[in-house]
Amino acid sequence: MLKFYHAPWSRSSNILWLMEELGVPYEIEHVDIRQEGGVPESYRKVQPNKKVPAIEHDGTVVTERAAIAIYLCDAFPQAGLAPKVGDKNRAAYLTWLVYADSVFDPAVAARAQGWTYVASNFSFGSFEDMVANVERRLQANPYFAGERFTAADIAMAGSMAYVLKQGWLPKKPVFEDYVARATDRPAARLTDEKDLAMARTVPAFAGMFQKK
């Protein structure tokens, strides 16, 4: 059995997309990270910091988005979302899968919060270096691991789509074209539908939907 601990419209939404791309049966355990009083302490047995996402697969718990993606893509290779060991594109796939969380996400968060900091004092470096690196990669390749879509694109395109919408990333044509290309997939559209349906059940979002 594959259980997925998820909160709609959160960083775990990229893993929901991955689940849909895998095409295997899974069960969603809704973790309301926005509820009054916070997530129950009992959830620490699954995720020590009470964050999402997390998965439980046949009794094995995996946390952290990159680790979950690597684990699932290797557990279900028939989905073709990861270059095999020995494939020349495996290194780029792993690099960008981890980069999404270790550099892209924190650099964007720091920019969104208006931080002023010395780049060399932080492991994720500067926002400008991150943007330049992502731009170079997409100018040279249609997808982050090379010529074909992989789980690295779920990690990067899923995050870039949200960040572009918020105005936290420069709206460069190469970014917008990439996001449009990577998200033009049935699994991505189904993910949006499922996340919206779940969001409608979250008390913290009630006011948002009542206005519509």
Q: What are 121-171's pLDDT values in tens digits?
A: 999 999 999 999 999 999 999 999 999 999 999 999 999 999 999 999 999
**Could you tell me the fold of the domain covering 2-80?**
Glutaredoxin (3.40.30)
Nearest alpha-carbon partner for 82 in 41, 32, 21, 158: 21
CATH 1.20.1050.10 in the chain is located at: 90-187
pLDDT of 191 over the 80 cut: yes
Q: What are 31-75's pLDDT values in tens digits?
A: 999 999 999 999 999 999 999 999 999 999 999 999 999 999 999
**Could you tell me the fold of the domain covering 90-187?**
Glutathione S-transferase Yfyf (Class Pi); Chain A, domain 2 (1.20.1050)
pLDDT for position 75: 97
pLDDT of 212 over the 80 cut: no
Q: What are 79-129's pLDDT values in tens digits?
A: 999 999 999 999 999 999 999 999 999 999 999 999 999 999 999 999 999
Q: Per-residue confidence at 211, pLDDT binned at 50, 70, 90?
A: low
Give the DSSP H or E segment for 57: strand 54-57
Sheet strands side by side (includes 60-63): 27-30, 2-6, 54-57, 60-63
CATH 3.40.30.10 in the chain is located at: 2-80
* CA 104 – CA 66 distance, rounded (Å): 13
